């Protein structure tokens, strides 16, 4: 069970996560970092550019250098949230990407890496995640980015959307309960020779299951981020509280 972030007497920030929670947070951080690298093609250099960079023609080398430094506009909707256009003017937006997107991407990847390293530093058994000042700021940025990606995957656009998703989840659980009841009745009827359904317990279910796991991870990250914001607003040590 997760315990919120608190500031210790020595000034460092800590929270407690059980092994499964640590693994989930570290995995999401890794997957978001991989998504950024893949969508923006960070670290990739196409073969034609490598050939042009080795060319004896100075113009081709110059063109290759320019092409290699040109930022890629995000294609994935989640990465678009992480790197939105800075202006409605396409020329200004493109110029802003050229000047700042690489540095911004490196900062995001660095923060996500710090999240993974601080979790790894805690080891497999210890539950305490301890953050120094740099890691504290990195966690704040990384938690926000991880939440943005999961929000995109959950199709959350506004704050009210999370309540709608919770409602759909509750409806799905009720339908599951009703299906289970009808399945049990069908099995009893079948035992009495009244025509059991041979297609299996899930055959009659037409509703789409809510993405429960992704929603649970999103809410954990939201809770951690809120508690970290609270630590930065409240000076001094205090006792940690558990996640509800």
- Residue 77's pLDDT is what? 95
Ranked by mean pLDDT, the top range of 95-104, 129-138, 170-179 is 129-138
Helix (H, G, I), strand (E, B) or coil at 129: strand
40 compared with 179, residue with greater pLDDT: 40
Least confident of 73-82, 91-100, 160-169, 219-228: 160-169
pLDDT score at 63:
56
What is residue 3's predicted lDDT score, i.e. its pLDDT? 87
No. of helices (H) and no. of strands (E), the chain? 8, 3
Q: Using CB atoms within 10 A of its CB, is residue 158 exposed (0-12), middle (13-18) or buried (19+)? A: exposed
Asked if pLDDT for residue 173 goes beyond 60, the answer is no
Residue 206 or 222, more confident: 222
- Residue 184: the pLDDT is 46
Average pLDDT, the chain: 78
The helix or strand, by DSSP H or E, that contains position 15, with its residue range, turns out to be strand 13-16
Residue 208's pLDDT band (cuts 50, 70, 90): very low
CB–CB of 86/96 below 8 Å?
yes
Check: CB of residue 221 under 8 Å from CB of residue 28: yes
Calpha distance 118→240 (Å, rounded): 19
Burial of 200 (0-12, 13-18, 19+ CB in 10 A): exposed
Best CA proximity match to 123, nearest among 50, 6, 22, 199? 22
Model pLDDT, residue 171: 57
**How many angstroms separate the Cα of 101 from the Cα of each of 33, 72, 88, 108, 197?**
15, 9, 16, 10, 58
Q: Would you say how long the chain is, in residues?
A: 244
Read off the pLDDT of residues 117-158 as tens digits, 9 standing for 90 and up.
999 999 888 899 999 999 999 999 999 999 999 999 988 876
| Greatest Cα-to-Cα distance within the chain, rounded to the nearest angstrom | 87
| Whether pLDDT at 90 is above 70 | yes
pLDDT of the residue at 133: 94
- Decide if pLDDT at 65 tops 80: no
- Residue 112, pLDDT > 70, answer yes
* Residue 31: pLDDT over 80: yes
| pLDDT beyond 50 at 201 | no
Position 209 scores a pLDDT of: 39
Report how far residue 16's alpha carbon sits from residue 119's, in angstroms, rounded to the nearest whole number: 11
User: pLDDT class for 229, splitting at 50, 70, 90?
Assistant: very high
Worst-scoring range by mean pLDDT, 104-118, 161-175, 219-233?
Answer: 161-175
Judge whether residue 1 has pLDDT over 70: yes
| Spatial distance between the Cα atoms of 125 and 133, rounded to a whole number of angstroms | 24
């Amino acid at each position: 069970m997760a315990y919120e972030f608190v500031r210790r007497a020595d000034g460092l920030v800590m929270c407690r996560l059980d092994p499964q929670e640590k693994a989930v947070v570290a995995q999401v951080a890794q997957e978001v970092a991989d998504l950024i690298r893949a969508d923006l093609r960070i670290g990739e250099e196409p073969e034609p550019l490598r050939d042009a960079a080795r060319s004896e023609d100075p113009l081709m080398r110059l063109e290759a250098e320019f092409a290699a430094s040109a930022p890629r506009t995000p294609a994935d909707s989640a990465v678009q949230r992480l790197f939105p256009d800075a202006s409605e003017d396409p020329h200004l937006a493109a110029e802003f990407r050229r000047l700042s997107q690489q540095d911004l991407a490196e900062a995001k990847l660095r923060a996500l890496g710090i999240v993974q390293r601080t979790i790894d530093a805690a080891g497999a058994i210890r539950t305490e995640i301890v953050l120094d000042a740099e890691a504290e700021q990195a966690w704040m940025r990384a938690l926000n980015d991880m939440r943005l990606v999961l929000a995109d995957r959950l199709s959350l656009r506004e704050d009210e959307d999370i309540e709608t998703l919770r409602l759909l989840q509750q409806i799905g659980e009720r339908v599951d309960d009703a299906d289970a009841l009808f399945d049990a009745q069908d099995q009893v009827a079948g035992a009495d020779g009244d025509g059991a359904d041979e297609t299996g317990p899930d055959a009659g279910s037409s509703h789409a299951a809510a993405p429960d796991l992704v929603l649970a991870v999103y809410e954990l990250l939201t809770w951690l981020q809120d508690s970290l914001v609270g630590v930065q607003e409240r000076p001094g040590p205090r006792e940690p509280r558990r996640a509800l």
